[in-house]
Structure 1
């Protein structure tokens, strides 16, 4: 029983000290330094060995311009407890604030010397110095910890601090060291480095990064360095050099085909079609894995379609039929079959033939996921043919086949879109409200945007708003049906006859992007400029700034582009375009480095 009461007694004392420390800390955080000082002094008088009280007192002394008291307190307590290196950190901070450079340096050196005997404290002391932005000694402390114990990996923190110091060579070197130790984090490191790398191969940091990679690879070759060189060349749009790196990886590992296909996707997206075709043909010639061959053929067919005029469609049709004959009974044939149906329905405008082809596919004994994809494409082509009710039936079947799969959410979104296209806004909104919480972020965002557009234009019994919304829906339908001029005309009716309507800015934006697809940059720019002038609070304003700024760059209107990038940087820090806008702005400004 005595032991129990003794435990309760000492526990109560400890709890009291903890509460007192928290009270003192709260005073300090509220800038009530006199009250914080009094609280810490009370704690210190009772428990002089309490490190939190010592540090709290030192901080209060500094805030109250009593630096000598802080120095005296810290020296005394370090002498009494030499293993508490945190006292030396606070002492260095105090000397540094007093501009006592020699004493600051001497204290840092003392910390480093003592850490050699106690390297476990390296990360703790390094972090403490980092909090005070004393980055060079912090780096030294982290390095001591790593030298003494191979299990300690602080290259990420060290790299970030080198970046803050503007030492980009050591920053990249530290990040590369981290990747070698933790290769699964290569995506994270690419995102970190992306802030410093630009599209310009002559940019100083690009050159530093390339040199660092090559030097590391010479000293201790590793495939990861080839992968990062490829990534760098992609950022610089030097796709042929990236292809060479990916081929080197393939030859060294015999396992680089997926990365080559991904590079082909990237080059196709950038409209670098010739190099994309070279990569895909290399894949076809150098793999026996059927899925890779099929994917490469499919991508080649997409490129042929994108780069050909309708006069060449008969030749593309024949090539599809040859591929179907070659792979028609294989495991991976469905992708080619669906691509062919899409080509026939959308590009050749043979909707009846495409519908018949897909209905025959549905009679096969297919897995549910493949049947659902077929149902969705069939429904898409029915929408292409303005047969909305039949399309809704097939979208619904697809959703039921794969409940719980992201494909089911795609089908539900298409149900909402088809209802929206035909003017059934209430039912569309019901479907969209369910999709707002979709696990697929892209669908959730698209659903939210469309639901808002419907809600804004149907919240009141305003026939004009509903007419405008129907025109807007018609414009989106025509865009889906690849009837670009009809879509432009539909949006123009909103702009001409429904000025001031909630949806006018969106009509201008959609129409501008259609003008861009036709390379009519003058009309596109005029639309974007109207959004900025008349709809400065539009939800599309940051999109408008960014697209128009890029357009101005292509038109060599540098001053106008810089102005728009600035607006994103200073007024839209939460925009998805923020990082790219900052990089592009600094390039236009002529900065040597990107930080």
Structure 2
């Protein structure tokens, strides 16, 4: 009995080994044939596929491989013959119809190709489980219309199949933007976590122009879908569209509609308020923030909305309005007192006293009183940093360094500590202590905060380039440059411009001349003197083409020329960023602005 079982086992074992060996050999032969094909050795590939086909004429990989080789060797009739025969012998293999349609297409036999694809679709409806496989095969040959039909059949057969994203992309390639947007919207409804990804895809087709063809199509698609199958998603996307078009009041109306439907849209309203403020649509921003104040009972939202309104008023007001702003700040401080969310308003008020009203001593006193409170470490460090800023404003550098250092030690390991260390370096730089500044900056170059690391690197380079070999002339120019930056920080813009002019007049050819021209130009822009800024930017381009600030210069000057409707000049500058400075932080914006100036209706 045992011997019989053993013999039976051995027979099965050897049969398995024999079968496995055949399969392994077959797989290797297919791989060899495909390798020849991919290398463009079509004759050798044909011989290999023929060998496989003779041994196994029902193998679909061999049949398809043969058909492809025949097409490459201009033997399309042979491809048609073998595909037709194989399809008759094995009608369930729909891939043969795909290859047959492709062959007819390549021979410009359009009617036969269309008939073949129509037959394919009809057969697929009987066997819809093959829809995604066949759709993918058609897509590989860029046969997008039948591919879309196949994917749709697959989705109807199995609701778990979601190909709307792929279908949307193919509609986009076909220029059918209505169906493209419709497919993307369907995908978002099924997969809400991918909303951000879809917005990025749609953003390629949306412009700032509300009358742009694709903007109009997208808007109509949203409105139509919202009428037939209402969903909050469509309000959200209309708001998003209006923001892209800078129609902020319309976006606000959509966000209000969302709030009324869900009673849960305050954070989105606050985000919209920050967006409008960034775009300098201050009136709309204040409207939104006042709506938040009137429609929420959550104290943190109220306080932050009040704070944002005060920041807008401070940014947009002239000194003649400062008394009214001061009064409002005091009212808010009295209203919210020592509430846990009021610290931001208290710090903003101190900043307003010191930087706007030039009441530096009052600001210092106010902040020192705040420091006597029992505050969390983060808030205490923020207060110490602001106090140090006001002390720098007053040219009290040594006292400022003490408070910056306290803040850094208080929150070691936090990003705020890195900010404090950078300010230590900057204060040392302002007072002319370049060696100590470099010591701090060398540590910050490895900062986990990219912005601080970049700022540290730039300042370190400025110091290094102008303190080489103890060149007294370069060091004198650097001290004047640091003074110009300090005056800018102190918001003494006219004095800063005069200081920079001293460098331009007296230190021509110095390493720091390009940075001086750029900083002065930015101050001219701040003081609404664009023509003077243009002169500086053009000098940088002419005399300092390899400057590290050249892409900043191209972008700033391109924006100025755009405002002045000097389209060709602006296009040339944005083009330089696109082709010569692909690693620039302005690359994406430059490309968008260039395409808009070129008059592209759609961005593909």
Q: Which moved more, 1:196-205 or 1:536-545?
A: 536-545
Q: Structure 1 residues 530, 84: closer, same or farther in 2, change over 3 A? A: farther
Note the alpha carbon deviations across 1:468-500, whole angstroms, 9 max, x for none.
Answer: 444444333332222222333344344444445
Residue 348 (structure 1) aligned to one of 352, 357, 363: 357
- 1:431 deviates by 4.2
Query: What's 2:117 paired with?
Result: 108
- What are the ranges of 5 or more consecutive residues in structure 1 without an aligned counterpart? none
Residue 414 (structure 2) aligned to one of 399, 405, 408: 405
Distance 2:13 2:397 in 1: 78
Q: Which moved more, 1:16-25 or 1:224-233?
A: 16-25
- 1:207 deviates by 1.4
Residue 323 (structure 2) aligned to one of 314, 318, 324: 314
Note the alpha carbon deviations across 1:278-337, whole angstroms, 9 max, x for none.
Answer: 222221112111111101110111111112112322221221111111112212011111
Structure 1 residue 168 and structure 2 residue 177: aligned? yes
Query: What's 2:534 paired with?
Result: 525
List aligned pairs for 1:496-507, cutoff 5 A. 496-507=505-516
- 1:241 deviates by 1.5
Q: Equivalent residue of 2:101, what SS?
A: helix
Query: What's 2:553 paired with?
Result: 544
List aligned pairs for 1:24-173, cutoff 5 A. 25-37=34-46, 40=49, 51-173=60-182
Q: Which moved more, 1:125-134 or 1:341-350?
A: 125-134
Note the alpha carbon deviations across 1:514-548, whole angstroms, 9 max, x for none.
Answer: 21111111112222222333334444434333332
Distance 1:316 1:304 in 2: 7
Structure 1 residue 304 and structure 2 residue 303: aligned? no
Distance 2:406 2:490 in 1: 22
Q: TM-score, normalised by structure 2?
A: 0.88
Distance 1:516 1:241 in 2: 31
Q: Structure 1 residues 391, 67: closer, same or farther in 2, change over 3 A? A: farther
Query: What's 2:5 paired with?
Result: none
Residue 364 (structure 1) aligned to one of 373, 389, 394: 373
Distance 1:491 1:19 in 2: 74
Distance 1:36 1:432 in 2: 62
- 1:113 deviates by 2.5
Distance 2:229 2:209 in 1: 28
Contact 1:568 1:577 in 2 (8 A): yes
Query: What's 2:246 paired with?
Result: 237
Q: Aligned residue pairs: how many?
A: 595
Query: What's 1:383 paired with?
Result: 392
Distance 1:41 1:491 in 2: 80
List aligned pairs for 1:188-587, cutoff 5 A. 188-457=197-466, 462-573=471-582, 575-587=584-596
- What are the ranges of 5 or more consecutive residues in structure 2 without an aligned counterpart? 1-8
Q: Which moved more, 1:83-92 or 1:350-359?
A: 83-92
Distance 1:453 1:282 in 2: 47
Q: Which moved more, 1:346-355 or 1:392-401?
A: 392-401
Q: Structure 1 residues 472, 323: closer, same or farther in 2, change over 3 A? A: same
- 1:381 deviates by 2.1
Q: Equivalent residue of 2:246, what SS?
A: coil
Distance 1:414 1:559 in 2: 42
Q: Structure 1 residues 559, 11: closer, same or farther in 2, change over 3 A? A: same
Q: Structure 1 residues 273, 26: closer, same or farther in 2, change over 3 A? A: same
Q: Which moved more, 1:291-300 or 1:429-438?
A: 429-438
Q: Structure 1 residues 65, 247: closer, same or farther in 2, change over 3 A? A: same
Q: Which moved more, 1:463-472 or 1:187-196?
A: 463-472
Q: Equivalent residue of 1:341, what SS?
A: helix
Q: Equivalent residue of 2:565, what SS?
A: coil
- Larger CA Rg, structure 1 vs 2: 2
Distance 1:544 1:201 in 2: 30
Q: Which moved more, 1:176-185 or 1:223-232?
A: 176-185
Distance 1:43 1:460 in 2: 76
List aligned pairs for 1:174-189, cutoff 5 A. 174-189=183-198
CA RMSD of aligned residues (A): 3.1
Q: Which moved more, 1:379-388 or 1:208-217?
A: 379-388
Q: Structure 1 residues 433, 68: closer, same or farther in 2, change over 3 A? A: farther
